[in-house]
Chain A
Amino acid sequence: MNLSPHRLSRTDWTHIAFLALPTLLFVTFYVYPVISSIHLSLHDWNGFAPKMRFVGLQNYQVLIGQPRFLHAALNNIIWVAFMLIVPTGLGLLLAAILDRGIRGEQVFRIIFFLPFTIPAVAVGAIWRWMYEPDNGLITTVLKLLGLGSFAQNWLGDPNVVNLSLMGSVAWWTTGFAFLVFFAGLRNIPTECIEAARIEGATPWQVFWKVSFPLLWPSTIIVLGMSAIDAMRLFDVVWAMTKGGPAYSSEVLAVQMYDLAFGRFDMGRAAAVAVYLFIIAGVIIMPYIIYMSRRVQDSEAD
């Protein structure tokens, strides 16, 4: 670049003008609140008192020694692993099956995608009813099959509640993975597949040796989005259990909301948020770097 900053062209000025408002919004609603949260996390404050009391890193130290906090953080990590594996794997399986040219493809595609379109709170409402311990569909079906002894207090038992929540989230998000993979498979040139088939490859080999590597762009989108969603997870848990029973299904976002707006312990809540931010950063930053690189690569072509 040999453009000196003093000699900006009219085009440059237009570009800067276009970027002004988005940048202002970004600074006001991302940069300022993040800094403000970090500042707040070093204080003891109930949200009303005119003065905040500086406590240094005390909030962070207290949290790291609290079983409740560690349990919620562990839940978040389990959620990330779950979201990366289960909805992604199921979506890939369904897409691969449907891509083989099956009658009624259109109908299946709509069915698999429908749950993804509904609000998280609707997922919560519907699945609270499905998991209702006495008359819910799952218990009813188990009883009909003579498996009544397997019925659980799906959302009321601390040992079962997380699995129940994950079941409903898999139902909700698999459609997204499915659709991205399906669109990705449709974008693979048929010549590649045909060539492999002529060479005598089985459908299984064709999929893993040809299709799957070419699906990499789709895989990246699905994995990135899943990880981000798992870190931010709030709505489904809030609508179904509010983190209960006895904090067993709590994730950091729910704990932070409870501390801030339920107990008005703003400093402690901000420290939970900062921890979440750090964990999310470690997990997701490589993804963001990869994405912005990939765009630059495609420009170079």
Chain B
Amino acid sequence: MSSSIEQRQTILTRTVLIGMSIVFVTPLIVAFLTSFKSPAEITRVMTLPTQIYWENYAIAFGRAGRTFLNSLLITAPAVVLSLLIGAVAGYPLAYMRGTGGKLVYFILLTGMLVPFQIVQIPLFFLVQRLGLYDTIPGMWLVHTAYAVPFCTFFMRNFFASVPRSMYEAALIDGCGPATYFWKLLLPASGSGLAALAIIQSRAIWNDLLFAITLTTSDNARPATVAIAGFASSLQVEYGPLMASTIVSVLPVMAAYLLFQKSFVRGLLGGAGK
């Protein structure tokens, strides 16, 4: 192949990459800049703010401050609980021989295809009957329960990639299967748990459907519900809306940037290098 064609290809791929990067990053930059603009400047979308207008953030926290705290109080424990339930279910399914285990695994997997709409109405009444409607522990329970299929799938595949010889050696040494799980397997599964923690943080922090169905007041309402309310109202105030959006975006974005590597590795089920 002649070098001029190669050069032209390099220019082409560069152009595509840079063009796409601009498309990907512009909405985020526009949102960020808008969150610092005063109402007078907000319609000039292509300019930088002449001065930093913190008022948007003050309004956002005034209206939705409690919901950001709720998001945090819901997400952190629910992530821990969902990892635990996924690990507890994934462990026997990774080691059981025979049809029983496979059947249970298959049934749990079918949960991944269930559109949440079909559980939504009965769930609304179930959570009310349990006395957990509009409470943060109610959200923990629901997020943990609906994490069962995916977290089980993920942890089962992760455990299956751990050499079985480790398990057999431990059993020969007189270690019970439960002790093996808590004392050896779980502590050695940091990378898988970290990757799953990031996926779950995103899923739970970003959830709107369960939150909108099962919360109604600042008692338990997370930020996503508040923002959806602002965004779909008829008269949108874009300054405060963008400020609350930026705040809602930061935690998960930061987590992904920090733990990018372990996320990619975990996604490949430990098959990667």
For B14, the closest partner residue in chain A by CB is A102
CA distance A19 to B89 in the complex (A): 5
Interface string of B215-237 (1 = CB under 8 A from A): 00000000010011011100010
Tell me if A238 and B208 are in contact (CB < 8 A).
yes
Task: Evaluate contact between A119 and B99: CB separation under 8 angstroms.
Answer: no
List of B residues within 8 angstroms of A108 by Cβ = 17, 21
Residue of chain B at shortest CB distance from A123? B27
Q: A22-B89, A260-B121 are in contact. Are A276 and B115 (CB under 8 A)?
A: yes
A299 to B42, CA, bound (A): 59
A-chain residues with CB within 8 Å of residue B24 when the two chains form the complex: 111-112, 114-115, 171, 174-175
Q: How far is the CA of A253 from the CA of B118 in the complex (A)?
A: 9
Q: B30–A240 contact, CB under 8 A?
A: no
Given contacts A29-B145, A299-B160, contact A183 B231 (CB under 8 A): no
Interface contact A30-B272, CB-CB below 8 Å:
no
The answer to whether B117 and A272 have CB atoms under 8 Å apart is yes
How many Å lie between the Cα of A18 and that of B177 in the bound state?
A: 10
**What is the distance, in angstroms, from A4's C-beta to the closest C-beta of chain B?**
12
A135 within 8 A of B: yes
CA gap between A118 and B145 in the complex, in Å: 23
CB pair B115–A40 under 8 Å, yes or no, is no
B-contact bits for A165-202, CB 8 A (1 contact / 0 none): 00000010011000110011011000000000000001
A38 (CB) vs chain B CBs: closest residue = B118
Chain B residues near A175 (CB-CB < 8 A): 24
Indicate if the CB atoms of B88 and A118 lie closer than 8 Å.
no
Query: Which of B26, B98, B110 neighbours the largest number of chain A CB atoms within 10 Å of its CB?
Result: B110
List chain B residues, Cβ under 8 A from A66. Answer: none
Inter-chain contact A23/B123, CB cutoff 8 Å: no
Taking Cβ atoms with an 8 Å cutoff, the residues of B that contact A are 1, 9, 13-14, 16-17, 20-21, 23-28, 30-31, 34, 42-46, 85, 88-89, 91-93, 95-96, 98-99, 101-102, 104-124, 126, 142, 144-146, 148-149, 152, 156-157, 160, 171, 176-178, 181, 202, 205-206, 208-209, 212-213, 224, 227-228, 230-232, 236, 238, 241-242, 244-245, 248-249, 252-253, 255-257, 260, 264, 267-268, 271-273
A interface residue numbers (CB < 8 A to B): 1, 3, 10-11, 14-19, 21-23, 25-26, 28-30, 32-34, 36-37, 40, 93-94, 97-98, 100, 102, 108, 110-115, 117-122, 124-130, 132, 134-137, 140, 144, 171, 174-175, 179-180, 183-184, 186-187, 202-203, 221, 228, 231-232, 234-235, 238-242, 252-253, 256-257, 260-261, 266, 269-270, 272-274, 276-277, 280-281, 284-285, 287-288, 291-292, 295-296, 298-299
A-B contacts, 13 listed (Cβ < 8 Å): A11-B177, A29-B126, A37-B119, A119-B249, A120-B206, A125-B230, A125-B244, A135-B45, A137-B45, A186-B272, A253-B115, A292-B102, A292-B106
